[in-house]
Amino acid sequence: MKTAHADRGAPTTAVERPLEGVLVLDFSQFLAGPSCCLRLADLGADVIKVERPKSGDLSRRLYLADQSFGGDSALFHTINRNKQSFAADLKNPLDLHRVKALIARADVMVHNFRPGVMERLGLDYGTVADLNPRIIYAAITGYGSEGPWRTKPGQDLLVQAMSGLAWLSGNATQGPVPMGVSIADLMSGAHLCQGVLALLVRRGRTGLGGRVDVSLFESAMDMQFEQFTAFLNGDGQQPMRDTVNNASVYIGAPYGIYPTADGYVAVAMAPIDHLGELIGCEPLRAYTDPSGWFTARARIKSILAAHLATRDSEHWLAILEPADIWCAEVYTWPQMLAHEGFASLRLTQTIHDADHGTLRTTRCPIRVDGAVLTAPRGAPTLGRDTDEIARRFQLDTEEEERA
């Protein structure tokens, strides 16, 4: 294992980004909507975050590991970097007028309010489309805009619970196990971004704007398409997780993570008898019939687990990798961060703030024309850019003339 250097490689922020010149209004908060707008910003869009005065996006106070940066949570900065902040009370007629003037100039607007909220504020799709027929109106809800779930809180853990996602992880002896990341939030944000980009392409061809809607629940179900399709075409019974090293409800042994003498290794698909021959485990060589690799998976995994625990990870990888067995060492973050493989990807970047120092975080995972996309500007303080944006777009001119 070689030592990596943080943020290695020449900066590539000068590349012409594909969304330069696109104006996005981000009315969303927490993770799902802001993650969509973050990716649009990474790709070059000018993103203005429209926030309530005084409180702003509630994730400004959503702390992970009690970490803050610039007076707001570090989490807020990771999901709202490279945006501007425009403070506006949408229930105030003057502020609403200014926001509508921004909407008339924007290419995209994104929100994740519950169904009915934007209608009450007078910013529903019909009204917005009348203001700006070319705009892309993008919305995220928890469970869609119809049906009995429409008013339930769209929160990631709750969606994991209701969608069945929590029943895919863990062993059969455990209860439901949620994923360790906000996967429904982030996937729905990615889906919304895909929809926005598709409608921007259509607008370039037809001149027409449009509306794109996604929900956390639908995104959570889409992530389960492999397993859920098998369920829909099966016997209608909830699939059983394996009792030993479960990693997939429908894939046979050896698929799972196994302890070794000094750590863990992941082993994906492999012929059991061939695997047994490679590692010198005689009991596994008897499993020559592929049909038994699923029906007897608990027994097979138990045998394999006991055998792999006798030697260290490096020993087993030296045998399995040259034989093209799909396997990998299970890294902790410190192990991963120290590896040359991680360093070569240049996956981290440093956010700079003149008053509060630096914050290290991830970068955009997309490369454009071979270039790594970084954005060293952190998230804005609440309302920091309100006056500048008002001047830039002459938001008060019409109101002053009318007065």
Domains along the sequence of the chain with CATH: 23-224+347-402 (3.40.50.10540), 264-329 (no CATH)
In this prediction, residue 398 carries a pLDDT of 55
If you search the block for the tokens 């799902």, which residue do you land on? 32
Which value, in Å, is the radius of gyration of the alpha carbons in the chain? 25
Residue 290 burial (CB < 10 Å; 0-12/13-18/19+)? Answer: exposed
Distances (CA, A) of 158 to 116, 143, 171, 179, 239: 21, 11, 21, 12, 21
For the chain, 403 residues long, the average pLDDT of each consecutive 10-residue run is: 40 76 97 97 98 92 85 89 96 96 98 94 97 98 95 96 96 95 97 98 97 98 96 95 95 97 97 98 97 96 98 98 98 96 95 82 94 90 95 77 46
What is the dihedral sign for C-alpha 269, 271, 276, 279? Answer: negative
Reported pTM: 0.91
Tell me the two tokens of residue 232: 């829909």
Give me the active site residues, please: 185
The pLDDT value recorded for residue 219 is 98
| Rounded Cα distance, 381 and 267, in Å | 46
Distances (CA, A) of 171 to 87, 188, 257, 283, 299: 48, 27, 12, 23, 14
SS (H, E, C) the chain: CCCCCCCCCCCCCCCCCCCCCCEEEECCCCCHHHHHHHHHHHCCCEEEEEECCCCCCHHHHCCCCCCEECCEEHHHHHHHCCCEEEECCCCCHHHHHHHHHHHHHCCEEEECCCCCHHHHHCCCHHHHHHHCCCCEEEEEECCCCCCCCCCCCCCHHHHHHHCCHHHCCCCCCCCCCCCCCCHHHHHHHHHHHHHHHHHHHHHHHHCCCEEEEEEHHHHHHHHCHHHHHHHHCCCCCCCCCCCCCCCCCCCCCCCEEEECCCCEEEECCCCHHHHHHHHCCHHHHHCCCCCHHHHCHHHHHHHHHHHHCCCCHHHHHHHHCCCCCCEEECCCHHHHHHCHHHHHHCCEEEEEECCCEEEEEECCCCEECCEECCCCECCCCCCCCHHHHHHHCCCCHHHHHHC
Distance of CA 115 to the CA centre of its chain: 22
For residue 113, report the phi and psi dihedrals to the nearest 5 degrees.
-75, 155
Question: Residue 4: which residues within 8 A CB-CB, separation 6 or more?
Answer: 337, 338, 339, 340, 342, 343
